[in-house]
Amino acid sequence: RVQDSTVTSQTRGRAWIPEKQRIEGKHVSGYTWVETFEDLEVRILLPPQTKPQDIDCEIRRKSLRVSVAGQTPLLDGPLWGTVDLDGSAWVIERTEEGGADTGSEPPVRLVVTLLK
């Protein structure tokens, strides 16, 4: 999790959280996360027309930065622990939110998975 976010449990150290525990949270800016002993998954809803080439996702050993099409970063800050760069990645998913019921195209979701 990014340090400036609100969480229900804060544990420092290599594992970030105790084994077999799962923490879920939501930041006021709209992104959500799920953290386990093995990884941290961050989810951010983006406009429907967002393409993979629009995403600037910088996964570093101790920080994460996400922006879209050169705009102000949606997420930018240090992490509580160290990330395994080889096991971390991001992907864009289609969502069902909005869409058929509202007559609008549903947003896409950026999912960033950080392996610890």
Give the pTM.
0.78
Q: What CATH topology corresponds to 45-115?
A: Immunoglobulin-like (2.60.40)
Question: Tens digit of pLDDT for each residue in 46-69?
Answer: 999 999 999 999 999 999 999 999
Over range 25-52, report the average pLDDT: 94
pLDDT band at 16 (very low <50, low <70, confident <90, very high): low
Q: How does DSSP classify residue 8?
A: S
Helix or strand (DSSP H, E) at 111: strand 108-115
Contacts for 2-11 with beta carbons within 8 Å, 24 or more apart?
Answer: 2/27, 2/64, 2/75, 2/76, 2/77, 2/78, 2/79, 3/77, 3/78, 3/79, 3/80, 4/77, 5/33, 10/80, 11/80
Q: Is the pLDDT assigned to residue 5 strictly greater than 80?
A: no
pLDDT in tens, 67-112: 999 899 999 999 999 999 999 999 999 888 655 556 688 999 999 9
pLDDT at 20: 74
